[in-house]
Amino acid sequence: MKRYTHIRSRTGSMDLQFETISLIWILLGLLAFVMAIAMGTGWGDTYISPNAVLSTLFGTGSGEHDFILLTLRLPRVLTALFVGAALGVAGAILQGIIRNPLASPDIIGITGGASVAAVSFITFAGGVVSIKLLPVASIAGALLISLLVYGLSWKKGVTPIRLVLIGIGLSAAAKAATTLMIVMSPAISAGKAYLWLTGSVYGASWQNVYTIVPVVVLGTLLALAFSRSLNAQELGDDIASSLGVKVQRHRFLLILISVVLAGTAVSVAGAIGFIGLIAPHIARRLVGRLYGGMMLVSGLIGGLLVFMADLIARTLFYPLDIPAGIFTAGIGAPFFIYLLFRNRNQI
- At 14 the pLDDT is 57
Q: What gap in Å lies between CA 2 and CA 214, rounded to an integer? A: 33
Q: What is the pLDDT of residue 39?
A: 84
Q: In the predicted model, is pLDDT for residue 219 greater than 90?
A: yes
Neighbouring CB atoms inside 10 A of 282's CB total 16
**pLDDT bracket for residue 297 (50, 70, 90):** very high
d(CA 58, CA 214): 22
Highest mean pLDDT among 6-15, 46-55, 72-81: 72-81
Amino acid 281: pLDDT: 87
Contact status, residue 272 vs residue 324, Cβ threshold 8 Å = yes
* pLDDT, averaged across the chain: 80
**pLDDT of res. 159:** 62
Q: Which of 143-147, 192-196, 222-226, 316-320 has the lowest mean pLDDT?
A: 192-196
Determine the pLDDT at residue 97.
Answer: 82
pLDDT of 173 above 60 = yes
Q: For the residues of 42-65, what is the DSSP string, one character each?
A: T-SSS---HHHHHHHHTT-S-STT
Tell me which of 170 and 245 has the higher pLDDT: 170
Whether 303 has a pLDDT exceeding 90, the answer reads yes
Give mean pLDDT, residues 148-152: 83
- Provide the pLDDT for residue 13: 54
- pLDDT tens for 86-114 read 999 999 998 888 777 777 887 778 888 88
User: Bridge-partner residues for 19, per DSSP?
Assistant: 4
State the average pLDDT over residues 313-330.
77
Has residue 122 got a pLDDT over 80? no
Cβ atoms of residues 141 and 113 within 8 Å: yes
Over residues 147-173, the mean pLDDT reads 78
For 121: left if phi > 0, alpha if psi spans -120 to 50, otherwise beta; the answer is alpha
**What pLDDT is recorded for position 343?**
61
Q: Which residues, in sequence order, are CB contacts of 255 under 8 Å at separation 6+?
A: 93, 94, 97, 146, 150
Short-list 107, 45, 55, CA closest to 258: 107
Of 87-101, 122-136, 142-156, 160-174, which gets the smallest average pLDDT? 122-136
Q: Above pLDDT 90, what percent of the chain? A: 14
Q: What is the pTM of this model?
A: 0.85
Query: Picking from 6-10, 191-195, 319-323, which range would have the lowest pLDDT averaged per residue?
Result: 6-10
Whether 218 has a pLDDT exceeding 80, the answer reads yes
